[in-house]
Amino acid sequence: MPSNLAYHGPLGDIFNDHAENSAYNAYIDRPAMLELAGDVAGRRILDAGCGAGFYADALAERGASVLGLEDSAVLVEHARTRLGDRAEVRRHDLNTPLDGLADGSFDGVLCALVLHHLADRGRFLAEVFRVLRPGGWLVLSTTHPTADWQHFADSYYSEEWVDLPLPDGRHSVRLQRMNLEVFLGELLGAGFVLERLTEPRPVEAYRELDAGRYDRLAHRPTLLAVRLRRP
């Protein structure tokens, strides 16, 4: 199994510091994912791969009851500090079964920028399907296949494990490339029904912070997000 799939040790601190205000996390992915989740008031939501707790924080603020799962001990502590008693956070490797979570016990599952780090995506998607109630939704984001293709400058259809440099220039994380056919094929093959697919752009607020970078990010795909339903 590839190593370094989660933000362990100092990578967890780097991610916590970076994700709060980064263009990709704060101004592209989080707004898109929360919009796809919709009204969560009174709903039981699983934040699968909750990281430092930014999405769980927003979901709890909107009235959801949230359980966050995260494999990095460092990020678990960041999430618990950020969330306090407003959400529960447990340490868990998403490559393993979601033991202790009952069938049909969640109204929705949010999985932000995690799928491409998992070594056993099939098992994970099967477990998500199991813990969702019939009619429940999965909101999921990943790196855009076209952006990966341009970054690594090789075959668009590559499914190789690659190292993605982090903004500090000293660390990297492992991810597996997926083209669109593989990405959607795995989701539909797990039994989900696709309700919406979006290629998120930066929100307007980011233009005020960095107009030049806003224009660059608004004109090329970086991330891919979907909303799916369990029939």
pLDDT, tens digit (0-9, with 9 covering 90-100), for 59-98: 999 999 999 999 999 999 999 999 999 999 999 999 999 9
* Residue closest to 2 by CA, chosen among 185, 173, 205: 173
Angle 7-9-68 from CA coordinates, rounded to 5°: 50
CA pair distance 104, 226, nearest whole angstrom = 21
* Residue closest to 47 by CA, chosen among 109, 115, 138, 133: 109
Which two structure tokens, joined as six digits, stand for 173?
């994380």
CA pair distance 212, 207, nearest whole angstrom = 8
Q: How much is the mean pLDDT over the chain?
A: 94
- Indicate the pairing of strand 65-70 with strand 88-91: parallel
pLDDT, tens digit (0-9, with 9 covering 90-100), for 21-59: 999 999 999 999 999 999 999 999 999 999 999 999 999
pTM of the model: 0.94
Ordered by where they begin, the domains of the chain are 10-95+102-229 (3.40.50.150)
CA pair distance 49, 163, nearest whole angstrom = 19
Which helix (DSSP H) or strand (DSSP E) does residue 46 occupy? strand 44-48
pLDDT, tens digit (0-9, with 9 covering 90-100), for 159-210: 999 998 876 777 888 999 999 999 999 999 999 999 999 999 999 999 999 9
